A and B are shown apart, each in its own frame.
Chain A
Amino acid sequence: DQQVKQNSPSLSVQEGRISILNCDYTNSMFDYFLWYKKYPAEGPTFLISISSIKDKNEDGRFTVFLNKSAKHLSLHIVPSQPGDSAVYFCAASVGGSARQLTFGSGTQLTVLP
């Protein structure tokens, strides 16, 4: 059973608008969450993370929100750029570690010029 779920396999957004990627998890032991971006033929690259003691973390155009009671996190990209087009993976771990990550199945984001 998938402990980390990304229910939208794809998302299309107009350049300059906001992209919102969602992720749900079922394991209440998860306390560290990360987002990775993956271009074709490349490995995932780390984007942003959040610890369960926070509900928001920002890094430039990227903001991650965590709703622990709903076991839901989201990644906001504002403004979206064509270069953001990639597959985005949500990942989670236990013990505040970026190790032994459990990944979602990914969301393909397409930013239209």
Chain B
Amino acid sequence: EIVLTQSPATLSLSPGDRATLSCRASQSVGGFLAWYQQRPGRAPRLLFFDSSIRVTGIPARFSGSGTGTDFTLTISSLEPEDFAVYYCQQRSKWPLTFGGGTKVEIK
């Protein structure tokens, strides 16, 4: 199965900071990668699919990029509601797999 490794595990930042989250795949997934946000006590929410396609309603401060094995989720200026855990997920090859998550916490 394809292993997704997210880094860092925890990102300690302040509101207004730029956040850069990484997801690396053990083999190429092409562009078939998604990003989810999970706030405490809530179900995950899809942010991006196919690496960079933003889901309707997701603010423009969020951007996704990458192809092959290296992907990045960027939040240009953190808002209070952005402090959460973020997961990547690939659909290139079954079984579908998720990364271990990056927690973005308030510094």
Partners in one complex: no
A interface residues (Cβ-Cβ under 8 A, vs B): none
B interface residues (Cβ-Cβ under 8 A, vs A): none
